Amino acid sequence: MSFITSMLGHLNYGTIFVLMLLESTIIPVPSELVVAPAAYHAAAGNLDIWLVILFATLGADIGATINYLAGWYLGRPIIYKFANSKWGHLCLLNQEKVEKSEKYFDDHGMVATITGRLLPGIRHLISIPAGLAKMNYWKFLLYTTIGAASWHSILAFLGHYMHSFVPEEQLEEKILEYGEYIKFGLIILVILACLYILVKWYIKKRKNDNSKQQQV
């Protein structure tokens, strides 16, 4: 899409907001190639890194809200129909990806709107099952903001750090290279967090069960 390419070549707070809005809907815009380069330019004094994170997160919130409302009001049959359509495929979307995000949400509950923002392939779709499940909007927005701000902060500090040793012509290549390590690390962190929550829930359940048995 030429207009996306054009915006990627002219990053400012407005284009950052729009691109992250699109990335949080169904348009395949890689956030790595938006936030990290913007922070790279912030290190040169052209932008402010905190405003980069702010506008990226605001855009993500609006885009996620669009997906949330689509899930809430359109329902699963229409969402699946679009995912399997020509337009859905142009957006690199299919039913399998939507079902994957639904399963992730079902398995992890509301916290999935935080952890899902950190996972590739899940990030831009996790808002749909939140809408389908009729999750409270303000909780959804809070969790989405936390997840999006965390991810954008990681990318921003990566781009800012790279300014000291990566030439601009090599920036995209290096961001994608480092991005793979970051994704792998985040996946491990998310798995550990889920295991922690599961163990905590199991211990609490055992304590409750023991208390009930003692009362009997």
**What's the CA gap between 152 and 21, in Å, rounded?**
13
Contact 61, 86 (CB under 8 A): no
Residue-level pLDDT at 47 = 92
pLDDT band at 59 (very low <50, low <70, confident <90, very high): very high
pLDDT band at 190 (very low <50, low <70, confident <90, very high): low
Backbone angles phi, psi at 121, to 5 degrees: 85, -20
**What's the CA gap between 177 and 73, in Å, rounded?**
39
pLDDT band at 186 (very low <50, low <70, confident <90, very high): low
pLDDT band at 35 (very low <50, low <70, confident <90, very high): very high
Nearest C-alpha neighbor of 112 from the set 103, 121, 188, 120: 103
For the segment 31-45, the average pLDDT, to the nearest whole number, is: 90
Single pTM value for the model: 0.77
216 vs 23, more confident = 23
Each residue's pLDDT tens digit, 122-154: 777 888 888 888 889 998 899 889 888 988 988
pLDDT at 57 over 70: yes
Mean of the per-residue pLDDT values for the chain? 82
For the segment 180-188, the average pLDDT, to the nearest whole number, is: 67
**What's the CA gap between 215 and 63, in Å, rounded?**
51
- Domain boundary assignment for the chain: 2-215
